[in-house]
Amino acid sequence: MTGDTPLAERYPPGVGTVAIAVAAGVAALLGSFAAVGFAPGFVVAPVESTLSRVMPGAVVTFAITVLGDLGQQLNLATAGTIVVILYAQAVVVSVTLGRWLDERAVPLLGGPALVWAVTAALTGRPVLSLGAAVGAGVVLAVTDISASRGPATERAPSGGRRRVLTAVGAALGASALGYVVGRDGTAAVGGGSGGGDTGDGDRLRGDPAIYGNVEVPTFDASDQLAAAEERTFDLDGMEPLVSERFFNVSYSSVSPTPDAAEWSLSVTGEVDEELSYDYADLAEREFQHRFVSLRCVGESLNGQKMDNAVWSGVPIASLIEDAKPNSDCECVMVRAADDYYEEFPLEALETGFLALGMNGEPLPRSHGAPVRLLVPGHWGEISVKWITEIEFLEREADGYWEKKGWHGTGPVETVAKLHATTRTEDGRIAVGGHAYAGTRGIDRVEVSTDGGDTWADAELTERLPGATGAVEDPPETAEDAWRQWRYAYDPPSGSHDVVVRATDGTGTVQPSEERDAYPSGATGWVSETVDPGSVG
């Protein structure tokens, strides 16, 4: 070994050491990613989810309503930066100590050891945390070797700079490798980010990381899927009646990966008897297959966070009955594996459904695998994903979003969206979209092409079929599903305003009053200026 270079020169003091430490920190972060993928053991995950939880309501609201998905990415980037700073500090500590003792082994081994300790403390996963230590170790080892090859004294000051560049180069190489390995690892567990995947990765009867240790039942939703396909309007730019890209909203961008074999749902609190169900308890039951549409209270009026799927599972009423609840407030707190919690009336819960399957497949990770709650007709936030506990309460309490000022536990507002504007073959303009009013149903959609002065009826898709499978009195049509509308007209020569409004099953017209999403959902009529010249 040519270890004669004094430590002070191996790690150029000041900015040089910081640069090497940051490079090691970045490599450590990607090392963690390589070992874990985009899953809860990834060091950024606990930091990001804590950030979301402690963030003031106003900031979160701004992020959701104004920044949308970008808000979540910013949060993730902030969490990543915090982690790199923590790692860099750990490396600086080890270098300082090494310099003081004049012992090169201290940063070389102590640096990665500290990085490992930080990671293990954050994630609680000691073995997977070795990935981060290896990332930091690569950069520190390369720096050490490059120092041993040429003492900085002979080439000063360029020796120091060269070492920093070598460290940065090593960090880039290790990080790129870590990224590729981690990304493939995430794909292998069928996950992907919370950023909108519909579980395309889990073709093989579900995500093996979740379903690998259980018998996954079959979900025969083929009749409903066929009916939806047949009834879907063929209009350019409009999503079909079963969403191809089902939106995703989770307060934390890293979805949990619960092992279905370990999963259980407990019924606790103000009950005569506490109960617990595991995955097999539910999987062996005869399923219902039913359409349920979801809409997020945080989306803008004409937003994209409203979708529809056919879900397979069991009604919740049959599961909570035996516990004989005696809650004074007639209310429940539902909790989940990501530490999410929402409180709402028992009356709403009793109409709910525990879904194990989505569109004929095991529930994808990002939509709450292995089991999620669906509460028909209510804003999406109480359809708790990764559900673990139903607690009957003595008195009312705030849920996760209500603590941040939202009022999103009630029934959805009625909306007709306008997502497609195209030219028909015979030169007319066709507009279309989806309309949804929760369990009230959609009876009518009207369109105005003159800014709201005159109205005409739009054509509506036939209602989707009602639940099948283990259903006592199968309803003719779906009780909580959207419909598509379309309308074709001869355009006037100039720009004109197209306005849409729906009427729900109780005969109530969608309110025209314009209101932002915060705090209880957007209202108003969707309106769009159409310039015939630019409609292709």
Ligand X SMILES: Nc1nc2c(c(=O)[nH]1)N[C@H]1C(S)=C(S)[C@@H](COP(=O)(O)O)O[C@H]1N2
Tokens (6 digits) for 175: 């990080």
287 contacts which partner out of ligand X, Mo ion, none, CB within 5 to 8 A by kind? none
- Per CB under 6 A, the segment of 24-32, 99-107, 227-235, 333-341 that binds ligand X is 333-341
- Beta carbon nearer to ligand X, 248 or 510: 248
Q: HSE on the CB side for 451, CA within 13 Å?
A: 5
Residue 486 φ/ψ, nearest 5 degrees = -150, 155
Ranges within 381-400 binding ligand X (CB under 6 A): 381, 383-386
Closest distance of CB 410 from Mo ion, Å = 13
- CB under 8 Å to 151, separation ≥6 — which residues? 4, 5, 9, 159
| Pairwise CA distance, residues 9 & 16, whole Å | 10
Find the binder of Mo ion among 60, 88, 296, 387 (CB under 5 A): 296
367 contacts which partner out of Mo ion, ligand X, none, CB within 5 to 8 A by kind? ligand X
- Beta carbon nearer to Mo ion, 48 or 381: 381
Tokens (6 digits) for 284: 């062996």
Sign for the pseudo-dihedral over CA of 245, 246, 251, 255:
negative
Closest distance of CB 236 from ligand X, Å = 25
- CB under 8 Å to 14, separation ≥6 — which residues? none
Find the binder of Mo ion among 36, 249, 374, 517 (CB under 5 A): 249
- Would you give the binding string for ligand X spanning residues 20-59, x where CB under 6 A is met? ----------------------------------------
Q: Is 380 in the site for Mo ion (CB under 5 A)?
A: yes
- Beta carbon nearer to ligand X, 144 or 197: 197
Closest distance of CB 362 from Mo ion, Å = 23
| Pairwise CA distance, residues 470 & 354, whole Å | 14
Q: Is 293 in the site for ligand X (CB under 6 A)?
A: no
Find the binder of ligand X among 144, 338, 479, 480 (CB under 6 A): 338
Find the binder of ligand X among 39, 241, 336, 369 (CB under 6 A): 336
Closest distance of CB 387 from ligand X, Å = 7
- Beta carbon nearer to ligand X, 104 or 367: 367
Task: Tell me the residue number closest to ligand X, measured at CB.
Answer: 380
| Pairwise CA distance, residues 260 & 264, whole Å | 8
Find the binder of ligand X among 24, 39, 294, 431 (CB under 6 A): 294
Closest distance of CB 279 from ligand X, Å = 17
Tokens (6 digits) for 379: 């804003």
> Secondary structure of 17-44 in the HEC alphabet?
HHHHHHHHHHHHHHHHHHHHCCCCCCCH
For 350-380, the DSSP string reads: TT-EEEEEETTEEPPGGGTTT-EEE-TTB-G
- Per CB under 6 A, the segment of 175-183, 184-192, 230-238, 378-386 that binds ligand X is 378-386
Q: Is 483 in the site for ligand X (CB under 6 A)?
A: no
Closest distance of CB 367 from ligand X, Å = 4
* In contact, 354 and 231? CB cutoff 8 Å: no
* In contact, 270 and 326? CB cutoff 8 Å: yes
Closest distance of CB 410 from ligand X, Å = 13
The SS3 assignment for 309 reads strand
353 contacts which partner out of Mo ion, ligand X, none, CB within 5 to 8 A by kind? none
- Beta carbon nearer to Mo ion, 160 or 380: 380
- Would you give the binding string for ligand X spanning residues 188-227, x where CB under 6 A is met? ----------------------------------------
* In contact, 320 and 390? CB cutoff 8 Å: yes
Find the binder of Mo ion among 48, 202, 381, 504 (CB under 5 A): 381
Ranges within 231-270 binding ligand X (CB under 6 A): 246-251
- What number of chain residues touch Mo ion (CB under 5 A)? 4
The reply to whether omega before 370 is within 30° of 0 (cis) is yes
- CB under 8 Å to 397, separation ≥6 — which residues? 333, 343
Tokens (6 digits) for 226: 């066929």
| Pairwise CA distance, residues 500 & 485, whole Å | 10
- Would you give the binding string for ligand X spanning residues 354-373, x where CB under 6 A is met? -------------x------
Q: HSE on the CB side for 288, CA within 13 Å?
A: 22
List alpha helices for 104-232, DSSP H.
105, 111-123, 130-149, 152-155, 158-188, 208-211, 222-231
* In contact, 338 and 230? CB cutoff 8 Å: no
- Would you give the binding string for ligand X spanning residues 295-324, x where CB under 6 A is met? -x----------------------------
Residue type for position 471: V
- Beta carbon nearer to ligand X, 235 or 254: 254
User: Parallel, antiparallel, or unpaired for β 264-269 and 387-392?
Assistant: parallel
- CB under 8 Å to 484, separation ≥6 — which residues? 232, 233, 235, 238, 241, 432, 433, 434, 435, 460, 461
Closest distance of CB 70 from Mo ion, Å = 17
**Angle at the Cα of 102 (from 101 to 106), degrees rounded to 5?**
70
Closest distance of CB 406 from Mo ion, Å = 8
Closest distance of CB 249 from ligand X, Å = 4
359 contacts which partner out of ligand X, Mo ion, none, CB within 5 to 8 A by kind? none
Closest distance of CB 316 from ligand X, Å = 15
What residues make contact with Mo ion under the rule CB under 5 A?
A: 249, 296, 380-381
What residues make contact with ligand X under the rule CB under 6 A?
A: 246-251, 294, 296, 336, 338, 340, 367, 380-381, 383-386
